[in-house]
Structure 1
C-alpha cells in the first residue's frame, strides 16, 4: 500500500494521547494516526448495495417491544444451553 503525506491539525490534548499510546505500545505515533484514519474511514463507508436483501430479512408480524425481544432471547438462550450440554471436551 502506497502512503501519501498529508497535514492534519489536531488539538494538543489529542496529540498527547497519541504520544502516550504510541509509547505504551512501542510503535510510531504515525502508526496510531494511520490506524485511526483507517477505522474512521471504514466506519463512514457507504456500501453500494444493502447488507441483506428483502428476502433475507425476518418478518415478525409488526413492531416488537423490548419485552417481546427479551423473551425471545431468553428462550433462544435457554434452548441453546439444553442443546449444548455435554458437548464440552
Structure 2
C-alpha cells in the first residue's frame, strides 16, 4: 500500500492517548493514527447496493438467548486477548 503524507490537527489529550497506546503496544504513533483513519473510513463507507434485500432473511437457527450473546461476547473477548498477547488494543 502506498502511503501519502498529510497534516492533521489533533487535541493534546488525543495525542497523549496515542503516544501511550503506541508505547504500550510497541508500535509507532503513526501506525496507531493510520489504523484509526482506516477504521473510521470503513465505518463511514457507503455501499452502492444493500447487503441484503427486503425479501432476504437469515436463518440463525432459532431464538438467540441472553446466554448465547454473553457466551459469544466472552469468546470474542478471550480470542482478542490471546491475539494481542494480553496487551490492550
Q: What TM-score range do you get, normalising by the shorter chain?
A: 0.5 to 0.7
Aligned to 1:17: 17
Q: TM-score, normalised by structure 1?
A: 0.64
Higher relative contact order (CA 8 A, sep 6+): 2
Structure 1: which 5+ residue stretches go unaligned?
59-71, 78-89
Q: Which structure 1 residue ranges, 4+ long, deviate > 6 Å from structure 2?
A: none
> Would you say how many aligned residue pairs link Structure 1 and Structure 2?
62
Structure in which a larger fraction of residues adopt helix:
1
Structure 2: which 5+ residue stretches go unaligned?
69-89
Larger Rg belongs to:
1
Compute the RMSD of aligned alpha carbons: 1.6
The alpha-carbon deviation at position 8 of structure 1 amounts to 0.2
